[in-house]
Amino acid sequence: MGIVAVLLIEAIPFFGDVSVISFLTGTKWAPLFADKSFGALPLLSATALIAGMALAVAFPLGLLTAIYLSEYAPDVVRSTVKPALEVLAGIPTVVYGFFAISFISPNIVRPLFDSETIFTALAASLAMGIMLIPMVVSLSEDAMRSVPSALREGAYALGANRFQVSVRVVVPAALSGIVAAGLLALARAVGETMIVTIAAGGVPNLSANPLEAMQAMTAYIMEVAMGDTPRGTVEYRSIFAIGMLLFVFTLGLNLVARGFIAKFREVYE
Amino acid sequence: MKPSPPALSASRQTAFTRRWTSWAFAGVALLATAFGVAALILLLFVVMRDGIGGLSWDFLTSFPSRKPELAGAKAAIMGTLWVMSFTALFSIPIGVGAAIYLEEFAPKSWFTRLIEMNISTLAGVPSVVYGLLGLAVFVFGMNLGPSIIAAAATLTLLILPIIIVAAREGLRSVPYSMREAAMALGATRWQAVWHQVLPAGMPAVLTGVILAMGRAIGETAPLIAIGAFTSVFFTPTSPTDSFTVLPIQIFSWISRPLRGFQENASAGIVVLLIVLLLLNSVAVALRHVYARRRRW
C-alpha cells in the first residue's frame, strides 16, 4: 500500500509538467537533452519486445520441460533436473547480464544475425528467456502434478498413449495453472532490470528490430539513478512515473494470474 | 464384391502415426529439458573460465582501482557483509513476528484477509520499484542518504513477503495437537507458541529466511536505484556510511570496456556464486536435520 502512495506522490508532480497523454503516446524519449521530451512509447515498446521475446523462448521450453518432468521422466531424472533448474533460478540477474554480453552477444547473436552492435534487444531477451525457464517449469509442473491421476488412468484405460494423455488430458486439465505460469513469467520479465540495463544498450529507440540497441523502462530508471540527478527535477520525477507504469503492469499481470490459479484450484481441490 | 478394408488400414496407419508422434514428442520434451540444463552448465562454464584465473588473495583484499590488474573486491565484500547483517537484523524479527501473528493470533477477519492479499501482491512487485520506494522514503524522506542503513531497509521491504510466507508455512507444518497439548497443560497461547510451536517450526522458518537472504545478496537494481552506484575505496565503519556491494561492483566492472575488467567481473561473480552456494547448502542441511528430527 505504501508503495502506491509513494509512487503517486512522486509521480503526480511529473504529470503537472508533462501531460499524461503525451507521456503515454509520445514517440520521443529525450529527458536529458536541452529540448526535453517525455514520450514513453520507445521505452514501453522496448520492454514489450524484450519481455515478449523472452517469454517466446522460455514458455515453450519451460512447458515441454514441465511435461517431460511430470509425465515422462523417471524419478532419478526428476530429482536431478529439478534442483539443477532451481540453481538456475537462484543465480543473480547481474550474472545473466554478464552472460548475455560476454557470451550470447558475441557468440550467438553476432555470427547468426550479423548485428552491428553488441548491445541488442535479442541478446537481452535470450538471457532473460533462460532466466525465466525455471519459473515456468516449476509453476506449470506443479499445476500438472496436481491433476488427479484418476484422469490419467481413465485415459490410459481407453487406450490412449503417453503423448495423448499428456497433451489431450493433463495439459488441458492444468491449463489455467499453465497460463498463470506464463503470465507470472511475463510479469517477471517486464520488471527485470539488470539484464536489460547491461545487454540491451541504453538508447531510447522506437523500433521492432530486435537487433538494435534499445532502452527498456527499467533500464531508464537505472540510467537516471546512476547519474547525480537532484531531487525534485523532472528527470527525478520521471523515474517515478515510469516506476508507476511498471507497478501497474506487473500488478495487473499478477492479479490475472492469481485469478487463473484460483479457478484451477476450485476445480480439483 | 469383397468388402474393402480401408477402416482397418486407416486405423493401422493411425496406430503407427500415434506411436511415432508419441516418441517424437518424448524426444522433443527431453531436448527441451536438456536445453535448460545445458544452459546452466554453459553459463557456469563461461563465468568460471575467466573468473577462476582472476581469483586470488589480492583480488579479495584490494580496493577497486582504475587498473584492472590491481582492482579487488574488498570494499564490495565488506559492504555486502554490512548490508546483509542489517537486513537480517531488520527483516527476521519483523518477518517472523508477522508470520506468528498471522498464523497463530490473527482473527479471520476482512482485515487479516486484506493484509494477506497485500503480502502476496507485494511479492510480485519488481525489485526496481522497491528501489524507488527506498529512494523516496529512506534516502530522501528520512534523510539517510545512500547509506548502508537505507539499503538494508530497502532490501528488508523486498524480502519481507518471502520471509513471511515461508515462516507461515513452517509454523503451519507444526501439528495443531502440539498447541492443544501445551494449552491443556495450562500454557497460555503465547507460551504454547514461544516454547513449543516456534522451536518445532524453526528449521523450516530458518530455511525460508536463508533463501530470502540469498535473494537479497544478489539484488542489484534496488540498490542502484537508491543511489549506491559509486566507487568506494574504504571499508564501511558505521551504518550511515556509503557502501558498495558485490553485485554492484560486478555491474560496474561489466560496464567498463577494458578487457581486464571483464575478468574482474567474472572473478566477482565466482565469489558471489560461492557465497550463494554456501548459503544454499546451509538451507539444504537444515532441511535434512529438520526431516530427521521430526517426531510427528
Residue B289 in contact with partner chain A when CB distance is under 8 A: no
- Model pLDDT for residues B71-81, shown as the tens digit of each residue: 777 788 888 88
Q: Say what the pLDDT of residue A33 is.
A: 60
A63 in Cβ contact with A136 (< 8 Å): yes
> Shortest CA distance to B198 belongs to which of B161, B164, B172?
B172
Give A63 or B59, the one with higher predicted confidence.
A63
B window 151-170, beta carbon within 8 A of A = none
A240: closest chain B residue by CA = B132
Q: Say what the pLDDT of residue A133 is.
A: 93
Q: Closest approach of chain B CAs to the CA of A100, in angstroms?
A: 10
Across the interface, of B36, B50, B121, the residue whose CB is closest to A65 is B36
Q: Closest approach of chain A CAs to the CA of B238, in angstroms?
A: 23
Across the interface, of A69, A103, A243, the residue whose CB is closest to B46 is A103
Q: Tell me how far apart the alpha carbons of residues B217 and B271 are, in angstroms, rounded to a whole number.
A: 12
**Percent over 70 (pLDDT), chain B:** 90
Q: Say what the pLDDT of residue B156 is.
A: 92
Whether residue A137 and residue B46 make contact (CB cut-off 8 A), yes or no, is no
How many contacts does A have with B, using Cβ atoms within 8 A? Answer: 204
- Model pLDDT for residues A198-248, shown as the tens digit of each residue: 888 777 777 777 777 788 888 888 888 887 777 777 777 788 888 888 888
Binned at pLDDT 50, 70 and 90, residue B1 comes out as very low
From first to last of the 269 residues of chain A, give the pLDDT tens digit.
556 666 677 667 666 666 666 666 666 676 666 566 677 788 888 888 999 999 999 999 999 999 999 888 888 888 888 888 888 888 899 999 988 888 888 877 777 777 777 788 888 899 999 999 999 998 999 889 888 889 899 998 998 888 888 888 899 888 888 999 999 999 999 988 889 888 887 777 777 777 777 888 888 888 888 877 777 777 777 888 888 888 888 889 988 988 888 876 666 65
pTM of the model: 0.85
Gyration radius (Cα) of chain B, Å = 26
- Report chain A residues whose CB lies below 8 A from the CB of B270: none
Task: Provide the ipTM.
Answer: 0.84
Contacts of B186 (CB under 8 A, 6+ apart): none
Q: Say what the pLDDT of residue A268 is.
A: 63
Long-range Cβ pairs for the range B58-67 (8 Å, 24+): B59/B264, B59/B267, B60/B271, B63/B232, B63/B233, B63/B234, B64/B231, B64/B232, B64/B233, B64/B244, B64/B249, B64/B252, B67/B260
B window 212-251, beta carbon within 8 A of A = 214-215, 217-221, 224-227, 229, 247, 250-251
Give, rounded to a whole angstrom, the gap between the first and last alpha carbons of chain B: 75
- Report chain B residues whose CB lies below 8 A from the CB of A202: none
Q: Say what the pLDDT of residue B90 is.
A: 92
Q: Say what the pLDDT of residue B9 is.
A: 47
- Mutation for testing the A interface, residue in B254, B266, B269 having most A CBs under 10 Å: B254
Binned at pLDDT 50, 70 and 90, residue B13 comes out as low
Superfamily of domain A2-268: MetI-like (1.10.3720.10)
Binned at pLDDT 50, 70 and 90, residue B261 comes out as confident
- Mutation for testing the B interface, residue in A98, A136, A226 having most B CBs under 10 Å: A98
SS3 state of residue B242: strand
Residue B29 in contact with partner chain A when CB distance is under 8 A: yes
> Shortest CA distance to A116 belongs to which of A195, A215, A212?
A212
Q: At what angle do helices B6-54 and B259-293 cross, to 10 degrees?
A: 110
- Domain boundaries, given as residue ranges, for chain A: 2-268
Q: Say what the pLDDT of residue A34 is.
A: 57
Q: Say what the pLDDT of residue A269 is.
A: 54
CA triple B157-B159-B161, angle to 5 deg:
85
SS3 state of residue A38: strand
Q: Say what the pLDDT of residue B8 is.
A: 45
Phi, psi of A29 (to 5 degrees): -115, 105
Q: Say what the pLDDT of residue A2 is.
A: 57
Assigned CATH topology for domain B60-293: MetI-like fold (1.10.3720)
Pairing, β A37-38 against β A29-30: antiparallel
- Model pLDDT for residues B186-234, shown as the tens digit of each residue: 888 888 888 888 888 888 888 888 888 988 998 888 888 887 777 676 7
Q: Say what the pLDDT of residue A186 is.
A: 93
Buried-exposed string B80-90: b where 16+ CB fall within 10 A, e elsewhere? bebbbebbbeb
Whether residue B219 and residue A92 make contact (CB cut-off 8 A), yes or no, is yes
Across the interface, of B33, B140, B254, the residue whose CB is closest to A198 is B254
